[in-house]
Amino acid sequence: MKGAIFLEILIGILACLCVFWVNAEDPYRSYTWTVTYGTISPFGVPQQGILINGQFPGPAIEAVTNDNIIVNLINKLDEPFLITWNGVKQRRTTWQDGVLGTNCPIPPNSNWTYKFQMKDQIGTFNYFPSTKVHRAFGGFGAVNVAQRSVISVPYHIPDGEFTLLVSDWFKNFSSHKALQKRLEDGYSLPVPDALLINGHHNSLSFTGQKGKTYKFRVSNVGIATSINFRIQGHTLTLVEVEGAHCLQESYESIDIHVGQSVAVVVAMHGPPKDYYIVASTRFTKPILTTTAILHYDGSNTPPSLPLPIAPTYHIHWSMKQARTIRTNLTANAARPNPQGSFHYGTIKVVRTIVLANSATKINNKLRYAVNGISYVNPITPLKLADWFNIPGVFDLNTIKDTPTPGAPAKLGASVIPTTLHDYVEIVFQNNETSVQSWHLDGSSFYVVGYGSGTWTADIRKRYNLNDAITRHTVQVYPQSWSAIYVSLDNKGVWNLRSAIWERRYLGQELYLRVSNDERSLFTETDVPPNALFCGKAKRPQ
């Protein structure tokens, strides 16, 4: 009798604990994705696309802040493959970042399971293949992270939302391998032939109801060109940029550079008819344009030309607009503390790194370099080499903190050593005539300034040290500089790369090693049990 009561109580306690445990743990979302080649014909001509579960673009991840995401990726291509999660911070776990500096690629006909958390994140992100030039032909998709129910966002919750992935497209190349061959042969890629929205050219329609408001999440998942986005007859209220709630300014059109994402809210207040949604390229000759339709439910009136106009080459226009994208200092972030409570402008910078991009020739072939080093992936991922102290993979002296103008470029595996919690200023100096786009994995950064010409220390007087936006990808205008502040609070080895894929593929990238002397699960998780090993890295016995 006593025993039975004891057992009942015990079961009761266990049940309580169990309920507590489930509630305490954040929800899981699991996906199984099979990556294959498949024929797609965005322009009527068959080309070899890269599909996920048969789809181009790949399926969207619709998550909520703090969700745990599990993606079992089955690689049915004939080449090693990895996906990276653009803007997902991967707190304490570079192991899931999906770039060749942190992960061995998933061999053909095998699978690997990513596990990561959308810890304290909210907003508009995406994923794409980080290997080769796979992403030019697909494998990308949306990652949308909604706020938890207990968190308020600083704008009226729209009545609906749409996700638009804008990509550029090459009609003249039958597959990513043809594109890759051209780069391997030492040549630059031509200007793309077209833009697509969610894999379609001029053929998609988004339906909303008059009087309602909609959120458009727009990402530039292209490989080459900046775009301008606009909707005929409607203003765009910018509400979020790569996970940061910004000042809600209204724009007729907005520039989105390669790798960047924004969310805009649009009120459907126009006469009920159809309107053009337009994406066009910036700074290219010719200018490429693609459209979709914003359809007022019930209307039968087709959209009318002309398309709304947009800036074309105007660089100054873009730089001015970029400066208006600022943080709303009183708004919530993913956690209910004001974003502005972190006074980034008053923290002491411990180090300044100036990174200059250049185009060069090595062994008579086109390469791109950063501070004179054109990055080449070692076969052993940097992160594995670092963790297991494998010598001979990288050298922390390969790249210098400032460029040496005029020095000839060479190949190397650039890793910049930094200490956990270092507060660093990085200046991107672009002496070339094309716009650059730089992305950092693992952390967002404050974009404190854009300017033309050569950066000098006294330009700091003009930095925005009050309400700069945080984001993960920053553009650098032709013959200009952009400056960021970043608090390196995420231990790991993080990719800092050109989001313009030809440049990245041919060497315009490096890694930041964020570390300290102490190995602790509070600052960094252990090697995942399913980690792949390659190169000099062998599974520990």
Ligand X SMILES: *[C@@H]1O[C@H](CO)[C@@H](O)[C@H](O)[C@H]1NC(C)=O
Give dist(CA 169, CA 352) in Å, integer. Answer: 37
Does residue 476 interact with ligand X by CB under 6 A? no
* Residue 203 amino acid letter: S
Q: Does 419 bind ligand X (CB under 6 A)?
A: no
Is 98 among the residues that bind ligand X (CB under 6 A)?
no
Give me the residues paired with residue 127 across strands.
85, 141
What's the closest the beta carbon of residue 32 comes to ligand X, in angstroms? 7
Q: Which of 36, 180, 203, 248 binds ligand X (CB under 6 A)?
A: 248
The helix or strand, by DSSP H or E, that contains position 320, with its residue range, turns out to be helix 315-324
- The one-character DSSP state at 186 is T
**Rounded CA separation 338/242 (Å):** 17
- Examine residue 190 and tell whether it contacts ligand X (CB under 6 A): yes
Residues 253, 230 contacting (CB under 8 angstroms): yes
Q: Which stretch binds ligand X (CB under 6 A): 109-117, 310-318, 390-398, 433-441?
A: 109-117
Of 53, 172, 205, 452, the one binding ligand X (CB under 6 A) is: 172
Task: Output the smallest distance, CB 328 to ligand X, in A.
Answer: 4
As measured in angstroms, the least distance from the Cβ of 431 to ligand X is 4
Tell which positions 37-76 bind ligand X, by CB under 6 A. 72
Interface with ligand X includes 505 (CB under 6 A)?
no
Determine if 250 is a binding residue for ligand X (CB under 6 A). no
Quick one: which of 26, 62, 193, 432 contacts ligand X (CB under 6 A)?
193
> Is-contact 369 508, C-beta < 8 A?
yes
* CB hemisphere CA count around 462 (13 angstroms): 13
Contacting ligand X within 517-536 (CB under 6 A): 530
Judged by CB under 6 A, the stretch of 8-16, 312-320, 324-332, 514-522 that binds ligand X is 324-332
Q: Any contact of residue 454 with ligand X (CB under 6 A)?
A: yes
C-alpha to C-alpha distance for 221 and 86, rounded to whole angstroms: 10
Asked if 237 touches ligand X (CB under 6 A), the answer is no
For ligand X, the closer CB: 154 or 478: 154
**Distance from C-alpha of 275 to C-alpha of 337, rounded to nearest angstrom:** 39
506 binds ligand X (CB under 6 A): no
Residue 507 and residue 146: Cα distance in Å, rounded? 35
Q: How far apart are CA 239 and CA 250, in angstroms?
A: 9
Q: Does 467 engage in binding with ligand X (CB under 6 A)?
A: no
Contact between 135 and 82 (Cβ < 8 Å): no
Q: Per the omega criterion (within 30 degrees of 0), is the bond before 192 cis?
A: no
Q: Which of 356, 382, 415, 510 binds ligand X (CB under 6 A)?
A: 356
d(CA 394, CA 412): 8
Residue closer to ligand X by CB (options 275, 438) is 438
Cα 177 to its chain centre, rounded Å, is 23
Task: Out of 30, 250, 330, 452, point to the residue binding ligand X (CB under 6 A).
Answer: 330
Partner residues linked to 230 by β-bridges: 253, 278
Decide whether 107 or 308 has the Cβ nearer to ligand X: 107
Binding piece for ligand X, criterion CB under 6 A, among 88-96, 107-115, 126-134, 305-313: 107-115
| Centroid of chain to Cα 42 | 24
Residue 403 contacts ligand X per CB under 6 A: yes
Rg (CA), the chain: 24
How far apart (Å, rounded) are the C-alpha atoms in residues 203 and 293?
A: 8
Total binding residues toward ligand X, as defined by CB under 6 A: 20
User: Nearest approach, Cβ of 298 to ligand X (angstroms)?
Assistant: 32
Binder among 111, 209, 312, 321 for ligand X (CB under 6 A): 111
DSSP annotation of 55: B
Q: Which residues bind ligand X (CB under 6 A)?
A: 72, 111-113, 154, 172, 190, 193, 247-248, 328, 330-331, 356, 403, 405, 429, 431, 454, 530
